[in-house]
Amino acid sequence: MIEHIIKTIEKYKLIERNQHIIVGFSGGADSLFLVEVLLEYRKRVPFFIHCCHVNHLLRGIEALHDEEFCRQFCLQYNLPFYAFRIDIQSYSRKDKLSLEEAGRKIRYDRFHRIANKWANSKIAVAHHADDQVETILQNLIRGAAITGLAGMEFEKAGIVRPLLEIYKEDIIKYLQECDISYCIDSTNEENDYNRNRIRNLLIPSLEEYNPNFKASILRMSSSLHRDDDFLEQESAFYFDKVVKKDEDSFCYLDLDLWKELHPSLQYRIIIKLIEELKGNRKNIGQEHLDRITGLCSKEKGKKEYLAGYTWLKDQNRLWVYKEKKQDPIEINLILGKDCYINGYIIRADKIKVSDQKKRNAVYFSTDLLKCPLYLRNRKNGDRFFPFNAPGEKKLKDFFIDEKIPQFKRDRIPLLISEEKIIWIPGIRRSNWHLVQIEDEEVVEITWRKI
C-alpha cells in the first residue's frame, strides 16, 4: 500500500526534492498514517516534514491529550511540531460559520502561515478515498457541475492529498498490523450531520446496487478530473482573449469573440470572471449564470446585478462595474496647482504661446478665458458646444454620439468657466475661448490619469 502511495506521489509530482511539507496532523489514524508514509518516502527523496496541530478547544482534556500525543510522536521522529490552540466555538459564532466550516478555515489558515515561511513549500492533508466519495456525493446532492462532481484533486492550490486513492479501512488495517497507536476523536463522528448520514446510510445503501460503488465513484472522479482539467485549460486560454479592460480600467467582455465560443466555454469564462471579481464562486448558481449569458444576447442597455457588480450589455461589449452613486463634486482649478478629481490630475498654467506642444493638453486664449475655473460632474440640463461643431447640443446627446457608456458619464469631470463647459478631459474641448492670433500667452490645461 505504501508503495502504491509513493508511486502516486511520484506520478503526480506531489512532493519534490528539498520541499517543505506542512502536514495537518491531528494524531488521528489518517494523518498519522500520512506522516508514516512521508517518513517512508523521505528515506528515498530528501525533503522536510513539519507537523501542524490545531487544538479546537472543543474537547477539553481529551484534546490536550491528543496534542501531547502528537508532540511526543514528533519528538520521537525528530519532526518540527507546531501546535495552535484556537477557540473555534467563539470564532464560529463571531463569523456566523458552522463549527466545521470555522474549524476548516482556521486549520488551513494556520497551515498556510507555516507554509509561507518557505518559498518552496506545500501543505499535505490526509483526505482518503472514503472522504473523496463522501465529498462527491455531497456535491452531487446539491447539483454541482463537473468540477464538484470530480471531487478533490491530488494537488490543488498548494495542497496535496497523497491518500486520495486509499480506503480508510486499509489505513486502519495497516496501523493495526504495524501496531501503531493513534488518537480517536470521540466527537469527530458526530460533527457533520449530513456527512455522517452519507457515510453511514447513503453509501451502504448505494453499495446494495453496486458492491463496487466506491471504486466506481473514484473511477468516475478521475475521468471527470481529466475532462475538467481540459475544459479549465481551454477556458483559461480564451479568458485572456475575451475579458479586457478599456483605457479607463473598466472591465468588459468582448462579445464578438465570446459569442464565437462553445457554450461550455462561454459559461466557464463568466464563472472565472465572477471568481476574479468576488474572490470565489460561492453562492453563484446556474440561474445566475443563465441570467448573465442570457444578457449577452439581449439588446443594448439591458442590465443585470450579480456578485455586487452591474453587468451592462452594450453594443458588442458586456461591461462589468460597481455601481457608485457619484456625489456632486465641485473643485476650483487654481493656476499652477495640481487638482485631483475622479482619478484624474488636472492642472492649468499660463505659458508662452510658442510653448504649446503637449499631448494631453488643451490651450485657451488668456484674454477670453475668465477665472474662476472649476471642475464638476455633469448635471441635468448640461449643454456643450464641441470644438468645430455648428453649435450647442445637449451634453447627453454628445455623450451618446461619442459612444461613452452611461455608467462612465457621471465620473467624467467637466471644466467650467462662466457657467459654460469649456472642456471634457480626454474627450473634447469646446468651441469657446480658442487661442487667438494676437495671443502672446495662453492657458495650458493638462490632464492625466492617476
Residues forming contacts to a second copy in the complex (CB under 8 A) are 140-146, 149, 194, 197-198, 201-202, 205-206, 209-210, 212-213, 215-220, 222-224, 226-227, 229-231, 233-234, 262-265, 267, 285-286
Beta carbon nearer to a second copy, 288 or 396? 288
Q: Which of 207/397 has CB closer to a second copy?
A: 207
Q: How many CA atoms lie within 13 A of 418 on its CB side?
A: 7
Residue 107 has which C-alpha cell?
486549520
Q: Which residue number, 98 or 332, has a Cβ lying nearer to a second copy? A: 98
Give whichever of 109 and 229 is closer to a second copy, judged by the CB atom: 229
**Shortest CB 287 distance to a second copy, Å:** 8
- For residue 58, the minimal CB distance to a second copy (Å) is 25
For the four alpha carbons of 90, 96, 101 and 105, in that order, the dihedral sign comes to negative
Q: Tell me how far, at minimum, the Cβ of 265 lies from a second copy, in Å.
A: 7
Q: Is 337 exposed, middle or buried (0-12, 13-18, 19+ CB in 10 A)?
A: exposed
389 vs 51, 234, 363, 431, CA distance in Å?
74, 48, 18, 7
Do 423 and 335 contact (CB within 8 A), yes or no?
no
The nearest distance, CB 187 to a second copy, in angstroms, is: 22
Query: Which DSSP letter does residue 323 get?
Result: -
d(CA 203, CA 105): 27
Least separation in angstroms between residue 134's CB and a second copy is 12
| CA–CA dist 72, 275 (Å, integer) | 43
The DSSP result for 150-169, as a single string, is H---SEETTEE-TTTTS-HH
CB of 270 to a second copy, least distance (A): 12
Instruction: Tell the smallest beta-carbon distance from residue 272 to a second copy (Å).
Output: 14
Among the listed residues 125, 116, 100, 138, the one whose alpha carbon sits nearest the alpha carbon of residue 28: 125
Q: Which amino acid is at 281?
A: R
Nearer CB in complex with a second copy: 214/428: 214
Q: Which is nearer to a second copy, 70 or 274 (CB)?
A: 274
Looking at beta carbons only, is 141 or 371 nearer to a second copy? 141
